[in-house]
Structure 1
Amino acid sequence: MPIRKVLLPLTGTAAGAAALGTAALVARRWDAHIAALHVRMDSRDVAPLAGEGLSGAMIEDMMSATERESGNRARAIRALFEQAMQAEQIPVTDLTPPVRLSASFSTTSGREDDHVAQQARLADLTIVPHPDAGEDVSSSDALHAVLFDSGRPVLIAPRAAPASVGERVCIAWNGTAESATAVFGALPWLQRAQAVRVLASEDYQRRGPAAEELRVYLALHGIQSDIRVFRSIDREVGAGLLAAAQDFGADLMAMGAYSHSRLRQLILGGVTRHVLEHAALPVMMNR
Protein backbone atom coordinates (compact mmCIF):
# COMPACT_ATOMS: atom_id res chain seq x y z
CA MET A 1 0.00 0.00 0.00
CA PRO A 2 1.46 3.39 -0.91
CA ILE A 3 2.04 6.00 1.76
CA ARG A 4 -0.28 8.96 1.26
CA LYS A 5 -0.45 10.59 4.70
CA VAL A 6 2.46 11.25 7.06
CA LEU A 7 1.72 12.50 10.57
CA LEU A 8 4.46 14.68 12.06
CA PRO A 9 4.03 15.66 15.73
CA LEU A 10 6.23 18.65 16.55
CA THR A 11 6.94 19.64 20.14
CA GLY A 12 10.08 21.75 19.82
CA THR A 13 12.42 23.41 17.37
CA ALA A 14 15.71 21.73 18.33
CA ALA A 15 14.87 18.34 16.78
CA GLY A 16 12.05 19.65 14.62
CA ALA A 17 14.26 20.72 11.73
CA ALA A 18 15.71 17.24 11.23
CA ALA A 19 12.24 15.69 11.49
CA LEU A 20 10.86 18.13 8.92
CA GLY A 21 13.74 17.33 6.56
CA THR A 22 13.08 13.60 7.01
CA ALA A 23 9.35 14.09 6.43
CA ALA A 24 10.03 16.06 3.24
CA LEU A 25 12.13 13.18 1.87
CA VAL A 26 9.40 10.68 2.69
CA ALA A 27 6.69 12.88 1.18
CA ARG A 28 8.61 13.32 -2.07
CA ARG A 29 9.35 9.60 -2.33
CA TRP A 30 5.67 8.70 -1.90
CA ASP A 31 3.93 11.80 -3.25
CA ALA A 32 2.36 12.13 0.18
CA HIS A 33 0.78 14.75 2.43
CA ILE A 34 2.55 15.86 5.63
CA ALA A 35 0.11 16.55 8.47
CA ALA A 36 2.15 18.46 11.05
CA LEU A 37 0.61 18.57 14.52
CA HIS A 38 1.59 20.62 17.55
CA VAL A 39 -0.07 19.84 20.88
CA ARG A 40 0.04 22.81 23.24
CA MET A 41 0.12 22.46 26.99
CA ASP A 42 -3.28 23.21 28.46
CA SER A 43 -2.97 25.98 31.04
CA ARG A 44 -5.86 24.40 32.98
CA ASP A 45 -3.50 21.57 33.90
CA VAL A 46 -1.96 23.98 36.39
CA ALA A 47 -5.22 24.24 38.37
CA PRO A 48 -4.67 21.05 40.47
CA LEU A 49 -1.75 22.87 42.11
CA ALA A 50 -4.34 24.76 44.13
CA GLY A 51 -4.48 21.69 46.33
CA GLU A 52 -0.78 22.12 47.08
CA GLY A 53 -1.38 25.26 49.12
CA LEU A 54 -0.98 27.86 46.38
CA SER A 55 -3.34 30.82 46.38
CA GLY A 56 -5.81 31.54 43.61
CA ALA A 57 -3.78 34.54 42.47
CA MET A 58 -0.63 32.45 42.24
CA ILE A 59 -2.46 29.81 40.22
CA GLU A 60 -3.81 32.46 37.82
CA ASP A 61 -0.31 33.88 37.34
CA MET A 62 1.05 30.42 36.61
CA MET A 63 -1.76 29.74 34.14
CA SER A 64 -1.09 33.04 32.37
CA ALA A 65 2.63 32.30 32.19
CA THR A 66 1.93 28.82 30.86
CA GLU A 67 -0.39 30.23 28.20
CA ARG A 68 2.22 32.79 27.08
CA GLU A 69 4.99 30.21 26.94
CA SER A 70 2.78 27.76 25.09
CA GLY A 71 1.77 30.42 22.56
CA ASN A 72 5.37 31.48 21.95
CA ARG A 73 6.42 27.87 21.41
CA ALA A 74 3.53 27.24 19.01
CA ARG A 75 4.44 30.31 16.94
CA ALA A 76 8.11 29.29 16.81
CA ILE A 77 7.21 25.78 15.66
CA ARG A 78 4.76 27.10 13.06
CA ALA A 79 7.47 29.42 11.70
CA LEU A 80 9.95 26.53 11.53
CA PHE A 81 7.39 24.42 9.67
CA GLU A 82 6.61 27.14 7.12
CA GLN A 83 10.29 27.88 6.50
CA ALA A 84 11.05 24.19 5.98
CA MET A 85 8.16 23.66 3.56
CA GLN A 86 9.11 26.77 1.61
CA ALA A 87 12.71 25.57 1.36
CA GLU A 88 11.53 22.13 0.22
CA GLN A 89 9.02 23.70 -2.21
CA ILE A 90 6.19 21.68 -0.71
CA PRO A 91 2.92 23.66 -0.82
CA VAL A 92 1.06 24.28 2.44
CA THR A 93 -2.68 23.76 2.09
CA ASP A 94 -5.83 23.45 4.20
CA LEU A 95 -7.83 21.62 1.52
CA THR A 96 -9.90 18.61 2.57
CA PRO A 97 -8.92 16.13 1.29
CA PRO A 98 -5.43 17.54 0.71
CA VAL A 99 -3.61 17.24 -2.59
CA ARG A 100 -0.62 14.94 -2.85
CA LEU A 101 2.85 16.26 -2.06
CA SER A 102 1.55 18.95 0.24
CA ALA A 103 1.60 19.86 3.91
CA SER A 104 -0.66 21.26 6.58
CA PHE A 105 -0.20 22.48 10.15
CA SER A 106 -2.65 22.18 13.02
CA THR A 107 -2.53 23.02 16.70
CA THR A 108 -4.55 21.65 19.60
CA SER A 109 -4.32 21.61 23.39
CA GLY A 110 -4.17 18.72 25.81
CA ARG A 111 -2.10 15.58 26.32
CA GLU A 112 0.31 14.95 23.48
CA ASP A 113 0.18 11.17 23.75
CA ASP A 114 -3.63 11.11 23.47
CA HIS A 115 -3.82 13.39 20.44
CA VAL A 116 -0.89 11.80 18.61
CA ALA A 117 -2.16 8.25 19.12
CA GLN A 118 -5.62 9.17 17.83
CA GLN A 119 -4.34 11.04 14.78
CA ALA A 120 -1.82 8.30 13.97
CA ARG A 121 -4.63 5.76 13.52
CA LEU A 122 -5.53 7.45 10.24
CA ALA A 123 -1.98 8.07 9.05
CA ASP A 124 0.08 5.66 6.97
CA LEU A 125 3.22 6.60 8.85
CA THR A 126 4.06 8.81 11.82
CA ILE A 127 7.46 10.48 11.93
CA VAL A 128 8.60 11.26 15.46
CA PRO A 129 11.39 13.79 16.00
CA HIS A 130 14.39 12.59 17.92
CA PRO A 131 14.20 14.03 21.45
CA ASP A 132 16.25 17.14 22.10
CA ALA A 133 19.75 16.68 23.43
CA GLY A 134 19.73 15.74 27.09
CA GLU A 135 16.32 14.06 26.97
CA ASP A 136 15.78 10.32 27.26
CA VAL A 137 14.68 8.96 23.89
CA SER A 138 12.96 6.01 25.55
CA SER A 139 10.57 8.35 27.37
CA SER A 140 9.17 10.03 24.24
CA ASP A 141 5.41 10.29 24.74
CA ALA A 142 4.70 10.58 21.02
CA LEU A 143 6.83 7.55 20.19
CA HIS A 144 5.17 5.26 22.71
CA ALA A 145 1.71 6.60 21.91
CA VAL A 146 2.10 5.51 18.29
CA LEU A 147 3.77 2.20 19.12
CA PHE A 148 1.27 1.07 21.75
CA ASP A 149 -1.99 2.85 20.89
CA SER A 150 -2.24 3.44 17.14
CA GLY A 151 -1.65 0.12 15.39
CA ARG A 152 0.47 1.95 12.80
CA PRO A 153 4.23 2.15 12.14
CA VAL A 154 6.38 4.94 13.51
CA LEU A 155 9.57 6.29 12.00
CA ILE A 156 12.07 7.86 14.38
CA ALA A 157 13.93 10.67 12.63
CA PRO A 158 17.68 10.89 13.27
CA ARG A 159 19.25 13.90 14.96
CA ALA A 160 20.35 15.25 11.56
CA ALA A 161 18.22 15.04 8.43
CA PRO A 162 19.43 12.18 6.18
CA ALA A 163 20.38 12.54 2.54
CA SER A 164 17.93 9.81 1.53
CA VAL A 165 15.33 7.47 3.03
CA GLY A 166 14.42 4.02 1.74
CA GLU A 167 17.03 3.43 -0.97
CA ARG A 168 18.94 0.81 1.03
CA VAL A 169 16.75 -0.88 3.63
CA CYS A 170 17.79 -3.35 6.29
CA ILE A 171 15.51 -5.51 8.42
CA ALA A 172 16.36 -6.36 12.02
CA TRP A 173 14.97 -9.90 12.19
CA ASN A 174 14.62 -12.07 15.28
CA GLY A 175 11.59 -14.22 14.46
CA THR A 176 9.17 -12.48 16.85
CA ALA A 177 5.65 -11.27 16.14
CA GLU A 178 6.93 -7.70 16.50
CA SER A 179 9.58 -8.17 13.81
CA ALA A 180 7.01 -9.87 11.55
CA THR A 181 4.72 -6.85 11.94
CA ALA A 182 7.68 -4.60 11.11
CA VAL A 183 8.34 -6.54 7.90
CA PHE A 184 4.70 -6.29 6.86
CA GLY A 185 4.69 -2.55 7.50
CA ALA A 186 7.91 -2.14 5.54
CA LEU A 187 6.80 -4.07 2.45
CA PRO A 188 6.02 -0.93 0.40
CA TRP A 189 9.52 0.38 1.19
CA LEU A 190 11.17 -2.95 0.48
CA GLN A 191 9.49 -3.22 -2.92
CA ARG A 192 10.88 0.17 -3.93
CA ALA A 193 14.34 -0.17 -2.38
CA GLN A 194 17.49 -0.54 -4.47
CA ALA A 195 18.91 -3.08 -2.00
CA VAL A 196 17.52 -5.02 0.98
CA ARG A 197 19.45 -6.86 3.67
CA VAL A 198 18.22 -9.04 6.53
CA LEU A 199 20.26 -8.64 9.72
CA ALA A 200 20.26 -11.63 12.05
CA SER A 201 22.24 -12.88 15.03
CA GLU A 202 22.17 -15.84 17.40
CA ASP A 203 22.23 -13.31 20.23
CA TYR A 204 19.13 -11.59 18.83
CA GLN A 205 17.06 -14.53 17.52
CA ARG A 206 13.99 -15.64 19.48
CA ARG A 207 11.59 -18.52 18.92
CA GLY A 208 10.24 -18.16 15.40
CA PRO A 209 11.16 -18.32 11.71
CA ALA A 210 14.84 -17.98 10.84
CA ALA A 211 16.35 -15.32 8.56
CA GLU A 212 16.47 -17.70 5.59
CA GLU A 213 12.72 -18.25 5.85
CA LEU A 214 12.22 -14.48 5.77
CA ARG A 215 14.40 -14.23 2.65
CA VAL A 216 12.18 -16.79 0.90
CA TYR A 217 9.03 -14.96 2.04
CA LEU A 218 10.33 -11.66 0.67
CA ALA A 219 11.12 -13.31 -2.66
CA LEU A 220 7.43 -14.23 -2.99
CA HIS A 221 6.74 -10.49 -2.91
CA GLY A 222 9.33 -9.88 -5.62
CA ILE A 223 11.90 -8.56 -3.13
CA GLN A 224 15.46 -9.82 -3.52
CA SER A 225 17.48 -9.71 -0.31
CA ASP A 226 20.62 -11.08 1.27
CA ILE A 227 21.38 -12.05 4.85
CA ARG A 228 24.10 -10.67 7.10
CA VAL A 229 24.83 -12.43 10.38
CA PHE A 230 26.16 -9.90 12.87
CA ARG A 231 27.75 -10.19 16.29
CA SER A 232 27.16 -8.21 19.45
CA ILE A 233 29.67 -5.51 20.28
CA ASP A 234 30.74 -5.32 23.92
CA ARG A 235 27.80 -7.62 24.69
CA GLU A 236 25.39 -5.10 23.16
CA VAL A 237 23.18 -6.63 20.47
CA GLY A 238 21.96 -3.17 19.52
CA ALA A 239 25.51 -1.94 18.89
CA GLY A 240 26.20 -4.90 16.61
CA LEU A 241 22.92 -4.33 14.79
CA LEU A 242 23.67 -0.66 14.13
CA ALA A 243 27.22 -1.46 13.00
CA ALA A 244 25.85 -3.99 10.50
CA ALA A 245 23.35 -1.42 9.20
CA GLN A 246 26.15 1.11 8.79
CA ASP A 247 28.32 -1.41 6.90
CA PHE A 248 25.41 -1.91 4.50
CA GLY A 249 25.06 1.83 3.99
CA ALA A 250 21.43 1.60 5.04
CA ASP A 251 19.29 4.74 5.01
CA LEU A 252 16.32 2.99 6.69
CA MET A 253 16.04 0.16 9.20
CA ALA A 254 12.80 -1.69 9.97
CA MET A 255 12.50 -3.51 13.28
CA GLY A 256 10.05 -4.68 15.88
CA ALA A 257 9.93 -2.77 19.15
CA TYR A 258 9.90 -4.10 22.70
CA SER A 259 9.87 -7.87 22.25
CA HIS A 260 10.26 -7.87 26.04
CA SER A 261 8.08 -5.68 28.23
CA ARG A 262 8.68 -1.95 28.06
CA LEU A 263 9.26 -1.86 31.83
CA ARG A 264 11.98 -4.50 31.61
CA GLN A 265 13.72 -2.61 28.81
CA LEU A 266 13.54 0.67 30.71
CA ILE A 267 15.20 -0.99 33.70
CA LEU A 268 17.63 -3.36 32.02
CA GLY A 269 18.18 -1.71 28.66
CA GLY A 270 17.53 -3.81 25.56
CA VAL A 271 17.97 -3.71 21.81
CA THR A 272 15.08 -1.31 21.27
CA ARG A 273 16.42 1.17 23.78
CA HIS A 274 19.97 1.01 22.41
CA VAL A 275 18.82 1.57 18.84
CA LEU A 276 16.57 4.47 19.84
CA GLU A 277 19.40 6.17 21.68
CA HIS A 278 22.22 5.59 19.19
CA ALA A 279 20.82 5.21 15.66
CA ALA A 280 22.10 7.74 13.13
CA LEU A 281 19.66 6.61 10.44
CA PRO A 282 15.84 6.65 10.25
CA VAL A 283 14.38 3.66 12.11
CA MET A 284 10.86 2.41 11.40
CA MET A 285 9.36 0.48 14.30
CA ASN A 286 6.23 -1.58 14.80
CA ARG A 287 4.82 -3.44 17.72
Structure 2
Amino acid sequence: MSYKTIIVNLAVDSDPMPIIKLATELAQGFDARLIGFAAADVPPLVATDKGMVYEGEIMQVDRREIAERLAELHDSFEKASLSSLWTQYFCGPTRALGLVARSADLILTANGGEDVYRAVDIGSLVLGTGRPVLVAAGNAEHLLGGTVLVAWKDSREARRALADALPLLTKAKKVVVATMEARLGTDVRDSLADVAVFLEQHGIMARTEVIMGEADGDRLVAFARSIHADLIVSGAYGHSRLREWAFGGVTRSLIGESGISRLLSN
Protein backbone atom coordinates (compact mmCIF):
# COMPACT_ATOMS: atom_id res chain seq x y z
CA MET A 1 0.00 0.00 0.00
CA SER A 2 1.14 3.52 -0.79
CA TYR A 3 -0.25 6.99 -1.28
CA LYS A 4 -0.61 7.60 -5.01
CA THR A 5 -2.46 10.91 -4.87
CA ILE A 6 -2.01 13.56 -2.18
CA ILE A 7 -4.06 16.76 -1.93
CA VAL A 8 -2.47 19.67 -0.07
CA ASN A 9 -4.72 22.40 1.27
CA LEU A 10 -3.29 25.93 1.14
CA ALA A 11 -5.08 28.26 3.54
CA VAL A 12 -5.76 31.73 2.17
CA ASP A 13 -4.63 33.46 5.38
CA SER A 14 -1.37 31.57 5.92
CA ASP A 15 2.10 31.47 4.44
CA PRO A 16 1.86 28.60 1.91
CA MET A 17 5.57 27.80 1.64
CA PRO A 18 6.04 25.49 4.67
CA ILE A 19 3.20 23.16 3.74
CA ILE A 20 4.09 23.25 0.03
CA LYS A 21 7.61 22.07 0.93
CA LEU A 22 6.18 19.35 3.16
CA ALA A 23 3.72 18.25 0.48
CA THR A 24 6.41 18.12 -2.18
CA GLU A 25 8.62 16.03 0.09
CA LEU A 26 5.78 13.59 0.78
CA ALA A 27 4.87 13.30 -2.89
CA GLN A 28 8.48 12.60 -3.84
CA GLY A 29 8.83 10.04 -1.05
CA PHE A 30 5.79 8.09 -2.20
CA ASP A 31 6.14 8.82 -5.93
CA ALA A 32 2.65 10.29 -5.67
CA ARG A 33 0.69 12.76 -7.73
CA LEU A 34 0.35 16.04 -5.83
CA ILE A 35 -2.71 18.27 -6.20
CA GLY A 36 -2.67 21.81 -4.86
CA PHE A 37 -5.96 23.05 -3.44
CA ALA A 38 -7.29 26.33 -2.09
CA ALA A 39 -10.77 27.64 -1.39
CA ALA A 40 -12.49 30.54 0.35
CA ASP A 41 -15.77 32.35 0.27
CA VAL A 42 -17.45 35.44 1.69
CA PRO A 43 -20.19 35.23 4.33
CA PRO A 44 -23.73 35.42 2.97
CA LEU A 45 -25.95 38.46 3.34
CA VAL A 46 -27.56 38.61 6.75
CA ALA A 47 -30.81 40.50 7.32
CA THR A 48 -31.36 42.30 10.62
CA ASP A 49 -33.78 44.95 11.85
CA LYS A 50 -31.23 47.48 10.62
CA GLY A 51 -31.10 46.01 7.13
CA MET A 52 -28.45 43.96 5.37
CA VAL A 53 -25.30 43.87 7.49
CA TYR A 54 -23.16 42.63 4.63
CA GLU A 55 -23.73 44.72 1.54
CA GLY A 56 -23.41 43.44 -2.00
CA GLU A 57 -20.71 45.94 -2.94
CA ILE A 58 -18.57 44.81 -0.01
CA MET A 59 -19.10 41.20 -1.08
CA GLN A 60 -17.80 41.99 -4.55
CA VAL A 61 -14.68 43.61 -3.11
CA ASP A 62 -14.07 40.61 -0.88
CA ARG A 63 -14.58 38.18 -3.76
CA ARG A 64 -11.97 40.08 -5.79
CA GLU A 65 -9.60 39.85 -2.83
CA ILE A 66 -10.18 36.10 -2.63
CA ALA A 67 -9.64 35.69 -6.38
CA GLU A 68 -6.34 37.55 -6.14
CA ARG A 69 -5.24 35.46 -3.17
CA LEU A 70 -6.14 32.19 -4.89
CA ALA A 71 -4.06 33.29 -7.89
CA GLU A 72 -1.12 34.05 -5.58
CA LEU A 73 -1.38 30.61 -3.96
CA HIS A 74 -1.57 28.93 -7.36
CA ASP A 75 1.55 30.78 -8.45
CA SER A 76 3.43 29.84 -5.26
CA PHE A 77 2.43 26.20 -5.66
CA GLU A 78 3.53 26.01 -9.29
CA LYS A 79 6.87 27.64 -8.59
CA ALA A 80 7.74 25.59 -5.50
CA SER A 81 6.37 22.12 -6.26
CA LEU A 82 7.04 19.55 -8.94
CA SER A 83 3.38 19.41 -9.88
CA SER A 84 1.13 21.66 -11.93
CA LEU A 85 -2.13 20.04 -10.83
CA TRP A 86 -4.26 22.67 -9.16
CA THR A 87 -7.88 23.12 -8.10
CA GLN A 88 -9.62 26.02 -6.41
CA TYR A 89 -13.14 26.94 -5.33
CA PHE A 90 -15.18 29.94 -4.32
CA CYS A 91 -16.69 27.93 -1.51
CA GLY A 92 -16.17 27.11 2.14
CA PRO A 93 -12.87 25.18 2.17
CA THR A 94 -14.16 22.26 4.28
CA ARG A 95 -17.03 21.55 1.91
CA ALA A 96 -14.90 22.03 -1.20
CA LEU A 97 -12.10 19.84 0.09
CA GLY A 98 -14.67 17.14 0.84
CA LEU A 99 -15.67 17.20 -2.82
CA VAL A 100 -12.16 16.75 -4.22
CA ALA A 101 -11.11 14.22 -1.56
CA ARG A 102 -12.71 11.42 -3.55
CA SER A 103 -9.73 11.53 -5.92
CA ALA A 104 -7.04 11.30 -3.22
CA ASP A 105 -5.44 8.77 -0.90
CA LEU A 106 -4.36 11.40 1.63
CA ILE A 107 -5.30 14.96 2.54
CA LEU A 108 -2.55 17.21 3.88
CA THR A 109 -3.46 20.40 5.69
CA ALA A 110 -2.26 22.73 8.40
CA ASN A 111 -4.35 23.42 11.49
CA GLY A 112 -7.77 24.91 10.86
CA GLY A 113 -9.22 28.22 11.97
CA GLU A 114 -12.34 29.87 13.33
CA ASP A 115 -13.55 31.41 10.06
CA VAL A 116 -15.32 28.56 8.24
CA TYR A 117 -15.38 30.66 5.05
CA ARG A 118 -11.57 30.89 4.92
CA ALA A 119 -10.19 27.92 6.88
CA VAL A 120 -10.93 24.21 7.13
CA ASP A 121 -12.71 22.71 10.10
CA ILE A 122 -10.39 19.79 10.89
CA GLY A 123 -12.99 17.77 12.77
CA SER A 124 -15.62 18.01 10.06
CA LEU A 125 -12.99 17.28 7.42
CA VAL A 126 -11.84 14.07 9.13
CA LEU A 127 -15.33 12.77 9.86
CA GLY A 128 -16.88 13.82 6.57
CA THR A 129 -14.41 13.01 3.78
CA GLY A 130 -13.74 9.31 4.26
CA ARG A 131 -10.02 9.91 3.77
CA PRO A 132 -7.11 10.09 6.22
CA VAL A 133 -6.14 13.65 7.08
CA LEU A 134 -2.54 14.51 7.88
CA VAL A 135 -2.53 17.70 9.95
CA ALA A 136 0.95 19.22 9.89
CA ALA A 137 2.50 20.74 12.98
CA GLY A 138 2.65 24.53 12.91
CA ASN A 139 4.82 25.75 10.00
CA ALA A 140 6.41 22.30 9.59
CA GLU A 141 8.37 21.97 6.36
CA HIS A 142 9.28 18.31 6.86
CA LEU A 143 7.60 15.21 8.26
CA LEU A 144 10.61 13.60 9.88
CA GLY A 145 8.93 10.31 10.73
CA GLY A 146 11.72 9.25 13.07
CA THR A 147 9.28 8.08 15.74
CA VAL A 148 5.57 7.54 15.15
CA LEU A 149 3.11 7.03 18.00
CA VAL A 150 0.01 4.99 17.20
CA ALA A 151 -2.75 5.78 19.68
CA TRP A 152 -4.42 2.39 19.92
CA LYS A 153 -7.94 1.57 21.00
CA ASP A 154 -9.64 -1.64 19.91
CA SER A 155 -12.22 0.15 17.77
CA ARG A 156 -13.18 0.54 14.14
CA GLU A 157 -11.72 4.05 14.01
CA ALA A 158 -8.33 3.00 15.39
CA ARG A 159 -8.13 0.02 13.03
CA ARG A 160 -8.93 2.29 10.09
CA ALA A 161 -6.29 4.81 11.17
CA LEU A 162 -3.69 2.06 11.55
CA ALA A 163 -4.36 0.78 8.03
CA ASP A 164 -4.41 4.30 6.56
CA ALA A 165 -1.05 5.09 8.18
CA LEU A 166 0.81 2.00 6.90
CA PRO A 167 2.76 3.88 4.19
CA LEU A 168 4.07 6.34 6.79
CA LEU A 169 4.73 3.63 9.38
CA THR A 170 6.77 1.68 6.85
CA LYS A 171 9.13 4.64 6.47
CA ALA A 172 9.41 5.39 10.21
CA LYS A 173 12.55 4.52 12.16
CA LYS A 174 10.59 3.68 15.29
CA VAL A 175 6.92 2.85 15.85
CA VAL A 176 5.31 2.82 19.30
CA VAL A 177 1.77 1.51 19.74
CA ALA A 178 0.29 2.81 22.97
CA THR A 179 -3.08 2.44 24.62
CA MET A 180 -4.50 4.25 27.64
CA GLU A 181 -6.15 1.96 30.17
CA ALA A 182 -7.31 2.41 33.74
CA ARG A 183 -6.71 -1.29 34.42
CA LEU A 184 -4.32 -3.67 32.72
CA GLY A 185 -5.88 -6.98 31.77
CA THR A 186 -5.23 -9.93 29.47
CA ASP A 187 -7.51 -8.47 26.79
CA VAL A 188 -5.39 -5.31 26.63
CA ARG A 189 -2.17 -7.29 26.26
CA ASP A 190 -3.73 -9.51 23.60
CA SER A 191 -5.00 -6.50 21.66
CA LEU A 192 -1.57 -4.86 21.61
CA ALA A 193 0.11 -8.14 20.70
CA ASP A 194 -2.24 -8.61 17.74
CA VAL A 195 -1.46 -5.10 16.49
CA ALA A 196 2.27 -5.76 16.77
CA VAL A 197 1.87 -8.98 14.74
CA PHE A 198 -0.24 -7.16 12.15
CA LEU A 199 2.46 -4.51 11.72
CA GLU A 200 5.21 -7.14 11.61
CA GLN A 201 3.44 -8.76 8.66
CA HIS A 202 3.91 -5.44 6.88
CA GLY A 203 7.59 -5.30 7.75
CA ILE A 204 7.14 -2.88 10.67
CA MET A 205 8.65 -3.72 14.05
CA ALA A 206 6.68 -1.92 16.75
CA ARG A 207 7.05 -1.49 20.49
CA THR A 208 3.89 -1.59 22.59
CA GLU A 209 3.14 0.49 25.68
CA VAL A 210 0.29 0.88 28.14
CA ILE A 211 -0.31 4.36 29.52
CA MET A 212 -2.05 3.77 32.82
CA GLY A 213 -5.09 5.93 33.50
CA GLU A 214 -8.28 7.03 31.83
CA ALA A 215 -8.12 8.13 28.20
CA ASP A 216 -6.90 11.71 28.18
CA GLY A 217 -5.66 13.77 25.26
CA ASP A 218 -3.16 15.83 27.24
CA ARG A 219 -1.63 12.67 28.70
CA LEU A 220 -1.34 11.16 25.22
CA VAL A 221 0.39 14.26 23.84
CA ALA A 222 2.72 14.35 26.85
CA PHE A 223 3.67 10.72 26.20
CA ALA A 224 4.26 11.50 22.53
CA ARG A 225 6.65 14.27 23.51
CA SER A 226 8.43 12.01 26.01
CA ILE A 227 9.33 9.56 23.22
CA HIS A 228 10.12 12.44 20.80
CA ALA A 229 7.37 11.42 18.38
CA ASP A 230 7.19 13.32 15.10
CA LEU A 231 3.71 12.03 14.29
CA ILE A 232 0.66 10.75 16.18
CA VAL A 233 -1.69 8.34 14.40
CA SER A 234 -5.18 8.18 15.83
CA GLY A 235 -8.75 7.31 15.03
CA ALA A 236 -11.14 10.25 15.26
CA TYR A 237 -14.20 9.75 17.44
CA GLY A 238 -17.25 11.94 17.05
CA HIS A 239 -20.88 12.15 16.03
CA SER A 240 -23.07 14.70 14.36
CA ARG A 241 -25.19 16.90 16.57
CA LEU A 242 -27.40 19.48 14.83
CA ARG A 243 -24.86 20.13 12.05
CA GLU A 244 -21.97 20.25 14.52
CA TRP A 245 -19.57 17.51 15.56
CA ALA A 246 -19.32 16.42 19.16
CA PHE A 247 -15.90 14.88 19.81
CA GLY A 248 -14.38 12.70 22.49
CA GLY A 249 -11.74 14.28 24.71
CA VAL A 250 -8.72 12.70 23.04
CA THR A 251 -9.89 13.68 19.57
CA ARG A 252 -10.55 17.25 20.69
CA SER A 253 -7.03 17.46 22.12
CA LEU A 254 -5.44 16.14 18.94
CA ILE A 255 -7.43 18.52 16.74
CA GLY A 256 -6.23 21.42 18.88
CA GLU A 257 -2.61 20.28 19.09
CA SER A 258 -0.13 22.26 16.98
CA GLY A 259 3.31 21.06 18.07
CA ILE A 260 3.16 17.53 16.63
CA SER A 261 1.82 16.37 13.28
CA ARG A 262 -1.20 14.09 13.45
CA LEU A 263 -2.75 11.60 11.07
CA LEU A 264 -6.46 11.35 11.88
CA SER A 265 -8.84 8.87 10.33
CA ASN A 266 -12.43 7.82 10.74
- TM-score, normalization by structure 2: 0.82
Q: Deviations over 1:202-222 (max 9, x none)?
A: 1499x9872222112222333
Comparing both structures, which one devotes a greater share of its residues to helix?
Answer: 1
**Residues in 2 aligned to 1:174 and 1:162: alpha-carbon distance in whole angstroms:** 30
1:23 to partner: Cα distance:
1.4
Q: What's the counterpart of residue 101 of structure 1?
A: none
Task: Give the match's secondary structure for 1:20.
Answer: helix
The aligned counterpart of 1:19 is 19
TM-score of the superposition, structure 1-length normalised? Answer: 0.76
Deviations 1:24-82 (A, max 9, x none): 2211211222211112316xx64565997339xx8331232222222232234334434
Deviation, 1:157, is: 1.0
SS at match of 1:160: coil
Q: Is the 8 A contact 1:128 1:142 kept in 2?
A: no
1:131-153 per-residue CA deviation (whole Å, 9 max, x = no partner) reads: 35xx499xx64534432232211
Distance of 1:53 and 1:111 partners within structure 2:
25
> Structure 1 residue 166 and structure 2 residue 142: aligned?
no
- Mapping of residues 177-192 of structure 1, within 5 Å: 177-192=156-171
Q: SS at 1:283's partner residue? A: strand
Match of 2:63 in 1: 67
Cα deviations across residues 180-206 of structure 1 (Å, max 9, x unaligned)?
10011112222232221101121499x
Q: Which amino acid aligns with 1:278?
A: E
1:219 aligns with 2:188: no
Unaligned 5+ runs, structure 2: none
State how many pairs are aligned.
261
Match of 1:121 in 2: 102
Matches within 5 A, 1:4-43: 4-14=4-14, 16-41=16-41
Distance 1:202 1:156 in 2: 26
Q: Deviations over 1:244-281 (max 9, x none)?
A: 222322222211001x5365x97786011112212422
Give unmatched runs, 5+ long, in structure 1.
Answer: 94-103
Q: Is the 8 A contact 1:199 1:244 kept in 2?
A: no
Change (3 A) 1:172 1:279: farther
Is 1:106–2:97 an aligned residue pair? no
The amino acid that maps onto 1:69 is E
Give deviations 1:59-113, integer Å, cap 9, x for gaps.
3312322222222322343344345x1xxxx3242xxxxxxxxxx3222222322
The residue that corresponds to 2:234 in the other structure is 255
- Identity, in percent, stands at 24
